[in-house]
Amino acid sequence: MHLFRWLPLGLILMAGTATAQLQQYRPNPQAGREMALHTCDACHIVAAGQLAPLVPGYGPSFADIANRPTASFASLQAFLTTYHPRSNMPYPTLSSAQASDLASFILSLRGRR
């Protein structure tokens, strides 16, 4: 019985710790680059030196995406974690951290073509 009295406090502390960890996460563009080179390069040019995607004619280059006027960290992160039924873009199963890393990598390409 005594344990149940403290259970709500424990749950609140655990939720607070999880929230603090998410708020403290800093996107890592290098991790996003590595993920893109292994996951996204089939349909997109993701880095300098990549001549063409493995599947020609599919997605825009990451530099082109970064240079769109509407490209922002929030818009990219939302796009990367949302299902797109009317496009060729597969539904990625990315964690929030992975989507953040990938979005930060894409935005690091702004100004490049």
Name the residue ranges covered by the structural domains of the chain.
28-108
Max CA separation in the chain (angstroms) = 66
| Rg of the chain taking only CA atoms, in angstroms | 19
- DSSP for residue 61: P
Which CATH code, of 1.10.287.3510, 3.60.21.10, 1.10.3720.10, 1.10.760.10, is assigned to 28-108? 1.10.760.10
pTM comes to: 0.74
pLDDT class of 111 with cuts at 50, 70, 90:
confident
Query: Mind listing the pLDDT tens digit for each residue in 22-72?
Result: 568 899 999 999 999 998 988 899 988 888 887 777 789 999 999 999 999
